[in-house]
Amino acid sequence: MMIWIGLAGTLGAILRYSLGRWISGKLGTAIPWGTWIINISGSLLLGLLYGWHQSEMISDGLWVVWGTGFCGAYTTFSTFGYETIQLLTMKRYLSAILYVVSSVLLGVAAAFAGVWITA
């Protein structure tokens, strides 16, 4: 099981890095759009996985591999914190506040939506 979690985590980390760079290249870096989009989409995916697991559409093993392994590596709280500190250091207070508030609210809403979709 640990190997599968590690492989899913590797896939999540590679996708996060690649997608984050691609998004930043397309949308710029004034706001950390890459991390923002990745964390919200990862919250949606985790909500879907949770809903499927609760309705017994996926096994405990798949829930752990994809929920913990993939989503755990795909989403990133540490980068979110670091980017928030960067915005504050650059005295971009409004951007930092919008980044934090929208990340938290939309992340929770996305997770809820994922669970709701599977109900």
Say what the pLDDT of residue 116 is: 98
For the whole model, what pTM was predicted?
0.94
End-to-end, the C-alpha distance of the chain in Å comes to 28
Percent above pLDDT 90 for the chain: 97
CB 74 within 8 A of CB 38: yes
pLDDT recorded at residue 30: 87
- What is the rounded (10 degree) CA torsion for 101, 103, 106, 108? -100
Known binder of ligand: residue 79?
no
Map out the domains of the chain as residue ranges: 2-118
Residue 15's pLDDT is: 98
Amino acid at 46: L
Candidates 98, 70, 72, 73; CA nearest to 83 is 98
- Residues 81, 108: Cα–Cα separation, whole Å: 17
Mean pLDDT of 69-75: 98
Q: Is position 72 annotated in a ligand binding site?
A: yes
Q: Are 76 and 16 in contact (CB under 8 A)?
A: yes
